[in-house]
Amino acid sequence: MLVLEDVHTHYGKIEALHGVSVEVKKGEIVSLIGANGAGKTTLLMTVCGNPRASSGRIFLEGREITNESTAQIMRSGIAIVPEGRRVFSGLTVEENLHMGGFFNTKAEIRKSQEHVYELFPRLKEREHQRAGTMSGGEQQMLAIGRALMSRPEMIILDEPSLGLAPLIIKQIFEIIGQLREEGITVFLVEQNAHQALNLADRGYVLETGKIRLHDTGKNLLNNPDVQNAYLGG
């Protein structure tokens, strides 16, 4: 569904991705793990066209998107939940969801909203609450719910567990598993390597802008190098 072939990305003269190749197949959860500064966010943002890949190619459902604008890419069945759960804090839960359905008709928005409330009953309960007054976990649910409003075939999540309490992290990972049940392809970027690999069909390890390892989630969890570097030995 998503293929990156030998992608290089630069910030000015500095190269942040040194030839990255990744494949996410339809219906899979693929986790990308890596330390701070490894280039995880850069990789996701390159898929979204900002920054652009300086060389290499990116395909979505067989169509090359390497040189498409972010707006075009976002209309091709892909939705992103950026790091830091950027919800509109002054808007209510419902208004935030409507922002996610920006490109859709009113009827589609209503249908998507009902679907999001089925997945996240907590959001329904808080429909009229301002997003900025909700807990971190609730805001993360809202950020995911907002991404789902465009009925994406694939969702990209950048560190959804960041800064959340263990119990909430467990819930968020359960929800991500549920997305796969719904047939949504998931590309997950995480520093929480244990949970991310446990949930993933396949995983990639990114180190200083290069893919060092890729394998099934289970094999990576059992790999001694991964255990030492990312799972606390």
Structure-block tokens of residue 8 = 């290089």
- Asked whether 213 and 205 are in contact (CB, 8 A), the reply is yes
**HSE-up (13 A, CA, CB side) for residue 12:** 1
Q: Based on the shown chain and the rule CB under 6 A, indicate whether residue 36 belongs to the binding site for ligand ATP.
A: yes
Pick from 1, 7, 16, 81: which binds ligand ATP (CB under 6 A)? Answer: 16
Amino acid making up residue 120 = F
Name 189's bridge partners: 32, 158
Q: How many of the chain's residues bind ligand ATP (CB under 6 A)?
A: 12
Q: Is 32 exposed, middle or buried (0-12, 13-18, 19+ CB in 10 A)?
A: buried
Question: Can residue 96 be called a binding residue for ligand ATP (CB under 6 A)?
Answer: no
Per the document, the length of the chain is 233
Could you say whether residue 37 binds ligand ATP (CB under 6 A)?
yes
Would you say 11 or 105 has its CB closer to ligand ATP? Answer: 11
Minimum gap (Å) between residue 8 Cβ and ligand ATP: 12
Among 11, 106, 121, 128, interactor with ligand ATP by CB under 6 A? 11
The verdict on 84 binding ligand ATP (CB under 6 A) reads no
Q: HEC states along 78-137?
A: EEEECCCCCCCCCCEHHHHHHHHCCCCCHHHHHHHHHHHHHHCHHHHHCCCCEHHHCCHH
If binding is defined by CB under 6 A, does position 145 make contact with ligand ATP? no
Kindly tell me which residue out of 1, 4, 31, 39 binds ligand ATP, with binding defined by CB under 6 A. 39
Which residue in the set 20, 30, 33, 34 belongs to the binding site for ligand ATP (CB under 6 A)? 34
Cβ-based nearer residue to ligand ATP, 34 or 152 = 34
Take residue 187 and report the two structure tokens written for it.
């590309």
Select from 20, 29, 40, 58 the one that contacts ligand ATP (CB under 6 A): 40
> Which parts of this chain interact with ligand ATP (CB under 6 A)?
11, 14, 16, 34, 36-42, 191
